[in-house]
Structure 1
């Protein structure tokens, strides 16, 4: 029986294929804006720029969150300019001062500009399709995929146990540019085989417990922090702290769980915090990793010295893991440029990479070609 094959290398370097992905993958994909508690008050907003589109999500006068194209209807100015902020009770475009209510409706243009008989009914902000799932806000630009809740359904019960809707932000969104194709970041995230080879600290902590599995729209990776003391001080201290967190159910006290939602959103769920990562495609060879950490309010920064210490140690441990992954994915990206490499065999255990590759080939038939078409 022929072994399954990885996606061809040219898919990770070819700008023409990247344009196909914009149309066939990302136009229909769900993109994460943030969490409902990133915008808790009237007028609070979040923004996202992705693949030439600009979106703003705002909390309305009625308490509802709504998402719109972050584009003024006059001259296409950006009405919300910060990643996260508050506009009060109106958006006012900083270009020509056209204004909009929080429900997106047109509020007016300055009288001195000479506009007469403007039809407010057709000049509101253009809405964007939105869904809130497990406390997170998702948007998309075109229909085609199942709902986020349907895509995450295989793990709905265990995700509900984490009470993600109660999270509050612990800091602000961080952007990390990487000179790699977005698929290389996602492939590495769902790859379990490199853990014992390339991540000695993670291997010490999880002690062979790391596992992966794949469902149609979502992957899961997980491991349990061992009670055997590490010979590295940060890891050993982190292990000790987890053992004392009796407010966390025993079955989750040492669980590190990771979920990757098709095509480019990942959630890292630890006992001490929850992170999301979004692998934002910029070009065929450039990706922006967008991430932020969240915590439960009863264990927020300052409320518990032990929890605060655990988050610091988690950051130290995962900072090293991220540094190791950065070297790996940049090396792979460079290898994709080599004339010697087209595709490689996948182990039957590499279920996440197999599933991802199959979906890409289904969506974009050109992905079946070993070499780039002329």
Structure 2
């Protein structure tokens, strides 16, 4: 069985001129295959180190029926565990973020008060002698793989394969000037439910052909200069702000007041860059802030878009205004994309739709489809297999 660790993302594919068949965007059995072969073995972004500054601070991620808690340990490092007590399976901590309490030194289960330290060790059980089978050293919290990449915290439920750093290696030098490690949360995590398949959101994010047709605001900002390219594990999209004033007030004001960012090289001071990493999350990088966007699959036709913005401390009025205008501009882009992706999801439900041809410029969709077909061979079929 092919897994992510031995997948050659650049391998030849006789179907590379074609998109994935429509049935793969709504079939529950195919979604089960995706969970096992693609999603559970992939890295998922949780938060930034500056989201958990103190001992006992935590962030959680609900993903594919698992709750993962990332927390700051007493030694300053970060640990990740499944958010599940080893006694009766109760969830240990609640909410997207918080502090473990008890001086930030331990986790106490709210059901029976089993207690764990920040290394996940079981350190307290009421009426311990009443458990004949209990072995304290074997009932610690279940660890989850964790990776820190430029200050951002990622977890992986199972499997192996390239690290986030390895996936981002072709573009790591482009991220260096943005001082990712110093970023502070700007706002809060938001969850936006969408009644579409996660791949449709992912495809749309990396699609450059629809920009001049469906996003007039981005076209006013970038002109014809929107670019798309694909590396083995990451897609890159970008647009340089043009000098011609937009006729939209928010866009024109953003063009006018975006202040100089001294630590950025000249070619990046007015550049918007997007990186989408395999399989389902992305960084939106602007001169004024950095966002992450994660497409969390819920079912074959339901997805949660999870996102938050980060920024370097900057009290300039112009920068505060630029960040607000950035939000206004991209809120409109998100509204346009929501309509577009819903249209595609509805159309793909038709039994008349199989797989559409891809343009040679659709490098990101080609790369994504190639990896999907390698990991789930049924994706090569125009129709679902019998019984699916």
Task: Provide the TM-score with structure 2 as the length reference.
Answer: 0.92
- What's the CA shift for 1:52? 1.0
Q: Work out which of the residue numbers 232, 252, 260 in structure 2 matches 1:216.
A: 232
CA distance in 1, matches of 2:338, 2:25: 16
The superposition leaves residues 51-79 of structure 1 with CA deviations (integer Å, 9 ceiling, x where unpaired) of 01111011111111010111100111111
Q: Work out which of the residue numbers 20, 23, 44 in structure 2 matches 1:31.
A: 44
- What's the CA shift for 1:40? 0.8
CA distance in 1, matches of 2:175, 2:334: 24
Match of 1:68 in 2: 81
- What's the CA shift for 1:117? 7.7
CA distance in 2, matches of 1:254, 1:204: 14
Conserved? CA contact 2:294–2:307, under 8 Å: yes
Q: Structure 2, unaligned stretches of length 5 or more?
A: 1-13
Q: Secondary structure at 2:158's aligned position in 1? A: coil
Q: Structure 1, unaligned stretches of length 5 or more?
A: none
CA distance in 2, matches of 1:70, 1:310: 38
Conserved? CA contact 1:92–1:98, under 8 Å: yes
Range moving further from structure 2, 195-204 or 73-82: 73-82
**Correspondence list, 1:83-98, <5 A:** 83-87=96-100, 88-98=104-114
Match of 1:239 in 2: 255
The question of 1:265 aligning with 2:281 is answered yes
The question of 1:127 aligning with 2:140 is answered no
- What's the CA shift for 1:280? 0.2
Range moving further from structure 2, 364-373 or 108-117: 108-117
The question of 1:227 aligning with 2:239 is answered no
- What's the CA shift for 1:258? 0.2
- What's the CA shift for 1:289? 0.5
Match of 2:296 in 1: 280
The question of 1:335 aligning with 2:318 is answered no
Task: Provide the TM-score with structure 1 as the length reference.
Answer: 0.96
Match of 2:122 in 1: 106
Taking only aligned residues, the RMSD between alpha carbons, in angstroms, comes to: 1.6
Match of 1:250 in 2: 266
Conserved? CA contact 1:109–1:115, under 8 Å: no
- What's the CA shift for 1:243? 5.1
Match of 2:54 in 1: 41
Q: Secondary structure at 1:41's aligned position in 2? A: coil
The question of 1:350 aligning with 2:366 is answered no
The superposition leaves residues 106-125 of structure 1 with CA deviations (integer Å, 9 ceiling, x where unpaired) of 12122399446842211110
**Correspondence list, 1:356-367, <5 A:** 356-367=368-379
CA distance in 2, matches of 1:112, 1:147: 41
Conserved? CA contact 1:242–1:253, under 8 Å: no
Change (3 A) 1:334 1:294: same
Conserved? CA contact 2:195–2:342, under 8 Å: yes
The superposition leaves residues 143-180 of structure 1 with CA deviations (integer Å, 9 ceiling, x where unpaired) of 23211111110001111221111111112110000000
